[in-house]
Amino acid sequence: MTSEAATIGLTHGGSEDTGLGNRGPESKSIVVPYGFWLFVLSDMVLFSALFATYASLVHATDGGPITNQLFDRNLMAIETIALLLSSFVCGLAMIAAKRKHMAWTQGWLLVTGLLGAVFLFIELYEFTQMIGEGAGPQRSAFLSGFFTLVGCHGAHVTAGLLWIGTMMAQIWAKGFREDIVRRLLCLSIFWHALDIIWVAIFTIVYLIGTLP
């Protein structure tokens, strides 16, 4: 097999995998998370367009409130810490799941979800405050861009919370089956990616927006 492949140039002396390979396709536990990784990266491309839109419109305030008047750094700091800890605890849940430990997995997933809920609650509080002050998405192009960008991230977190709940139920009902663990790994990739996007949001929107 190896020598045949070498004669038609598919391997380098039979020692290096060219990707065409003589091992056959990878197992599902590799291919599925890899496909999900591609989805997450394309999601980041989507967010890059929203970031570009926001950056283009940030000064188009139409005489309405500007970034310095709207954003509260203290509230945003709590959001940031909550989401970062949530991402960390999600990692701990993955460690427990790998060892098929039901109680720890469920516990850490619950903490992950609760921290995510804290984040989402603060974000919704901030949104309602802003809309109550007349700084809703229809006030100016800047605010449209803001609500689209941050709201899209919030929608992702909401979907993530639903997914966490679903996975807790599935692990509870079906145990650590191979396909369930695969879904759990995809969930953790999704959750870590949301935290990466939040790093960009808190820097570009909130910190740079509230520079003196």
Which parts of this chain interact with another protein (CB under 8 A)? 1-2, 14-15, 17, 22-23, 26, 29-30, 32-34, 37-38, 41-42, 44-45, 48-49, 51-53, 55-56, 73, 77, 80-81, 84-85, 87-88, 91-92, 94-95, 98-99, 185, 188-189, 192-193, 195-196, 199-200, 202-204, 207-208, 210-212
Smaller CB separation from another protein, 81 or 133: 81
CB of residue 137 vs another protein: minimum separation in angstroms? Answer: 20
3-state SS, one letter per residue, for 10-75: CCCCCCCCCCCCCCCCCCHHHHHHHHHHHHHHHHHHHHHHHHHHHHHHCCCCCCCCCHHHHCCHHH
Smaller CB separation from another protein, 118 or 204: 204
Smaller CB separation from another protein, 55 or 117: 55
Encoded amino acid at 20, one letter: L
Residue 176 backbone phi and psi in degrees, to 5: -90, 60
Smaller CB separation from another protein, 45 or 103: 45
Contacts of 36 (CB under 8 A, 6+ apart): 186, 189, 190
CB of residue 154 vs another protein: minimum separation in angstroms? Answer: 19
Smaller CB separation from another protein, 128 or 166: 166
Rg (CA), the chain: 22
Tokens of 166: 């679903």
- 3-state DSSP assignment of residue 6: helix
Smaller CB separation from another protein, 133 or 177: 177
Distance CA 96, CA 108 (A): 8
Tokens of 29: 């536990």
CB of residue 128 vs another protein: minimum separation in angstroms? Answer: 25
CB of residue 72 vs another protein: minimum separation in angstroms? Answer: 13
CB of residue 158 vs another protein: minimum separation in angstroms? Answer: 21
Contacts of 65 (CB under 8 A, 6+ apart): 133, 135, 139, 143
CB of residue 124 vs another protein: minimum separation in angstroms? Answer: 22
Distance CA 42, CA 37 (A): 9
